[in-house]
Structure 1
Amino acid sequence: MRLAVAQTPVREDPRDVDALRESGRQVRALMREAGARGARIVHFPEGAICFPHKLVMSVDGPDAVGPADWDRCQWPVLRAELAAITELAGELRLWTVIASVHRLTEPNRPHNSLYVISDRGEVVTRYDERLLSNTKVSYMYSPGISPVTFDVDGVRFGCLLGMEIHYPELFAEYESLDVDCVLFSTTGVSPGNAAAQAQGHAAANSYWVSFSVPSQHSATAPSGVIAPGGDWLERCPADGSPSVAVVDLDDGSEAAAEAVAYARPWRRKSRAGVYAGHQVTDPRSEDRSAAF
């Protein structure tokens, strides 16, 4: 399975038609590059088309955060760019995971989402960010309710978004769902810290993690893919350029093989109660203040 992870500039004003269209063009250019490099799936950061800024959207703005006015968003342009991305995915036979705002029926706020587009050019599922920041849930978005997995050529992927890097239980949940790789998209929650946490989640759960962030953060935390042992396999350039890093998930490394073949099965076995048959009743065990 060849995976491409992207970094793109994130624009923050959904009223700016030219910016939305330029984001769409940039995404499609990177899709073509990923396809030319043999990728089967390409993964983009949160806000790849637009990440509406809280002050741009605020009815109390531009100097104070307040409820978002989603009528300010150029929905027809956003839909047109996503439609063009979906069509290109089918032309390239390239699975594409792209973040966007997902509009709901008024007066409900939209979801902050990841669309999963198949190599047939069809949206097959969507992940909605569940554990939102205080600002997002108070003023901007409706939270999602469930994990999402999808399979490509026998490899199972899970999706996470935004600030969910801070919640190890979400990564553990995907391990229990037999995921081989988690696709995590963010605009950058302390990017360097988030990258370190992503490595920890990969190592703790013995699966790959694709870490996709805006190119603005590349100097401290470029996009990249982490192996099940917790090491970076490949990263995008740290020069702020829109780019993709391409890796084979079955990289053949000894560390990855051991993590998948031994560490992950043993953790499952230990959590299932393997220790119960080895526990003993002993006075020196029960007395916590016993001498050495």
Structure 2
Amino acid sequence: MTARRNFKRQVRARAAKTGESYTSALRHFLPTPSGDVMSEARNPNTVRLAVAQTPVRDDPRDVQALRESGREVRALMREAAAQGARLVHFPEGALCFPSKFVMSVDGPDTVGPADWDRCQWPVLQSELAAITELARELRLWTVIASVHRLTGPNRPHNSLYVLSDRGEVVTRYDERLLSKTKVSYMYSPGVSPVTFEVDGTRFGCLLGMEIHYPELFAEYEKSDVDCVLFSTSGTPGNTAAQAQGHATVNSYWVSMSVPSQHSPTAPSGIVAPNGDWLARCPADGSPSVAIAHLDAGSEAAADAVTYGRPWRREARAGIYTEHQVNDPRSEDRTAAF
């Protein structure tokens, strides 16, 4: 710990002396894989990320509501692009989060199996197509939630589409650990994690109530992701605190995108690897985006990425075994002081 404090003190001292930013000063102290000091011209992988909050509507039969959701998503895409974002991340239900009562064959007051024939699939697909085309026009990677239709009689997936800056669906994440209602009546669960890269930065995706499962976040750490994109329509518990916890223990960024309706208690935002919020949307219920620069050399990330993450990996690899001892006073749990 003392060595880390000394290291950060040296970086800050150089920054104060030269007038450089902390990030620029840090590059003089970090070695490259070859062992040489990183040059001023060689920047680590960075990306500018936008996280959005949008109003979420719950009736997929309502054509006008689906169209309005699509227009709002595209407006925020343009805003994110105007602020220099390379990727924009939307909440679960950005186009529609179908209500369990609206979809229920036993409804409207009783939850039962969902009747997916009620969904206006052509309208939903046309809105997704327009979003994909705009991603191409803006050269903006876009992660957008929607229902992914399967072959009947299978229930659809609850999904995140990853749209590239070329206007292509490069992958799709399907929610795996669904709520009891979702898995019992509404959706087919997904089966695997998904990763993708933008400008050398690796992302993973989670959805719905999966913030409650630390093993999913740990799985992405083992996959060398730099940032997890978590989209939700709202889930019990303090999601903001959990997002900070997952970012801290895994030493990566976490982007949490929520509906604007929930922003008064937990607005959308981006957490740094040290657990601090880098950017948050307004807590006033308004549709908006917040922007953060994901840079492993920044003060908010350097310590966690340089020291924390490598040490935890080393610790989990069994380094303690050779230091364990055979001692009767160790084995006897009732041994006196």
Give me the TM-score of the superposition, normalised by structure 1.
0.98
Consecutive unaligned residues of structure 1, counting only runs of 5 or more, are: none
Contact 2:244 2:275 in 1 (8 A): yes
- Please name the residue that 1:273 is paired with: 318
- Please name the residue that 2:242 is paired with: 197
Provide the secondary structure at the position in 2 that maps to 1:2: strand
Q: CA deviation at 1:72?
A: 0.4
Q: CA deviation at 1:61?
A: 0.3
- Please name the residue that 1:214 is paired with: 259
- Please name the residue that 2:232 is paired with: 186
In the alignment of these two chains, the number of paired residues is 291
Q: 1:251 to 1:259 in 2, by over 3 A?
A: closer
Provide the secondary structure at the position in 2 that maps to 1:150: strand
- The equivalences for 1:106-121 within 5 A come to 106-121=152-167
- The equivalences for 1:238-257 within 5 A come to 238-250=283-295, 252-257=297-302
CA displacement, residues 121-178 of structure 1 (integer Å, 9 cap, x when unaligned):
0000000000000000000000000000001111000000000000000000000000
Provide the secondary structure at the position in 2 that maps to 1:22: helix
CA displacement, residues 50-71 of structure 1 (integer Å, 9 cap, x when unaligned):
0000000000000000000000
- Please name the residue that 1:45 is paired with: 91
The one of 177, 180, 204 aligned to 2:223: 177
CA RMSD of aligned residues (A): 0.9
- The equivalences for 1:19-34 within 5 A come to 19-34=65-80
Letter in 2 for 1:110: P
- Please name the residue that 1:73 is paired with: 119
Consecutive unaligned residues of structure 2, counting only runs of 5 or more, are: 1-46
Contact 2:296 2:305 in 1 (8 A): no
Provide the secondary structure at the position in 1 that maps to 2:225: coil
- CA distance in structure 2 between the aligned counterparts of 1:213 and 1:166, rounded to whole angstroms: 15
Q: CA deviation at 1:88?
A: 0.3
Largest Rg, 1 or 2: 2
- CA distance in structure 1 between the aligned counterparts of 2:54 and 2:305, rounded to whole angstroms: 31
CA displacement, residues 97-137 of structure 1 (integer Å, 9 cap, x when unaligned):
00000000000000000000000000000000000000000
- CA distance in structure 1 between the aligned counterparts of 2:95 and 2:172, rounded to whole angstroms: 16
Q: CA deviation at 1:207?
A: 0.4
Give me the TM-score of the superposition, normalised by structure 2.
0.85
Provide the secondary structure at the position in 1 that maps to 2:304: helix
- CA distance in structure 1 between the aligned counterparts of 2:102 and 2:296, rounded to whole angstroms: 43
- CA distance in structure 2 between the aligned counterparts of 1:145 and 1:48, rounded to whole angstroms: 23
- Please name the residue that 1:160 is paired with: 206
Is 1:104 the counterpart of 2:121 in the alignment? no
Q: CA deviation at 1:195?
A: 1.2
CA displacement, residues 233-255 of structure 1 (integer Å, 9 cap, x when unaligned):
11000000000000001175434
- The equivalences for 1:123-138 within 5 A come to 123-138=169-184
Q: CA deviation at 1:89?
A: 0.2
- CA distance in structure 2 between the aligned counterparts of 1:193 and 1:251, rounded to whole angstroms: 27
Letter in 2 for 1:38: G
Identical aligned pairs, as a percentage? 84
- CA distance in structure 1 between the aligned counterparts of 2:331 and 2:299, rounded to whole angstroms: 42
- CA distance in structure 1 between the aligned counterparts of 2:234 and 2:296, rounded to whole angstroms: 27
